[in-house]
A and B are shown apart, each in its own frame.
Chain A
Amino acid sequence: MDHLDGNALAGPLADYFAFDVTEARARCNGCGEVAEFARALVFASPAGTVVRCSSCDHVLATLVEAGERAWLGLSGVSALEVRRA
């Protein structure tokens, strides 16, 4: 299945974060790699969006959207580094 790069997260995640999530750095629980979300691999399907670590394929985050509800999963991220203005 083809995937997009993490810049594709800017639109879908803008509703949930007050900062630009693509610039945030995340630590992967799978391999420990710390990288900008923009570098992640994004697998988008009607079932949901799955964000994977570009180093080890581990699932970093998921987004499931259903009408008025959405589920944002960050089980594969130990922490996000956010730049403060």
Chain B
Amino acid sequence: MSFVTRGFGGGSRDRDDRLPPGQTLVQDFPVLSAGPTPEVDTGEWEFRIITEAGTHRWSWDEFNALPSEDIATDIHCVTHWSKLGTSWRGVSLDTLFENVESQFDYVMARSYGGYTTNVPLDELLDGQAWVATEFDGEPLDPEHGGPARLLVPHLYFWKSAKWVRSLVMMPRDDPGFWEQNGYHLHGDPWQEERYW
């Protein structure tokens, strides 16, 4: 060859403008977890939205009968990696909240295994969040949160709770697990809202 082309991703020269500040592109899908991977049998799996008025429940079969959609999105982990153009399938929270009424403005996501994370309700609606059950055309692997995880890709990925079980409406923006222990209450990657 008479010349050598410059490689992709070899440095900061041609920084991708889809990368938020302080992030580095990865091709693999790192696994981060705060504990053991819960074994969740879809026969016993249940998804719930809990309000001050009561509980809305979906079994695995009921959940899968809901309209779902393909989601193509970038994801950004607070540990400085980003993954561009990921492919998911899931149910929009607009669908899940269709018949839910609450006076409260904040949501605590609760997971099998005990993990929690807080998100304002207005950041979960209007096409901003899903409960995802597939990644890259395959059922979601347990280490990535299967059978179902929250997907809130405009916030750092710790907000996209693996093994999500419930969304609990709450009157204040109470901190979840990582938010109680050093991480930012909100977590916008474009504002680098990493820590308190």
Contact = CB atoms under 8 A, between A and B. Distances in A.
DSSP class of B's interface residues: helix, strand, loop or mixed?
loop
B31 interface: yes
B32 A45 contact: yes
A64 B33 contact: no
Given A66-B195, A69-B195, A43 B35 contact: yes
Interface stretch (A6-14, A17-25, A47-55): A47-55
Given A1-B36, A1-B143, A66-B195, A47 B180 contact: no
Interface in A51-77: 52, 57, 59, 62, 64, 66, 69-71, 73, 75
B189 to A, nearest CB: 14
Contacts of B34: 43, 45, 47-48, 50, 59
B194 A1 contact: no
Interface residues of B, number: 23
A62 B183 CA distance: 12
Contacts of A70: 182
B163 interface: no
B180 A73 contact: yes
Contacts of A69: 195
25 contacts: A1-B33, A1-B36, A1-B37, A1-B143, A43-B35, A47-B32, A47-B34, A47-B77, A47-B78, A47-B79, A48-B178, A48-B182, A50-B35, A52-B35, A62-B182, A64-B183, A66-B195, A70-B182, A71-B181, A71-B182, A71-B195, A73-B181, A73-B182, A75-B180, A75-B181
Interface of A: 1, 3, 43, 45-48, 50, 52, 57, 59, 62, 64, 66, 69-71, 73, 75
Interface of B: 30-37, 77-79, 114, 143, 158, 177-178, 180-183, 194-196
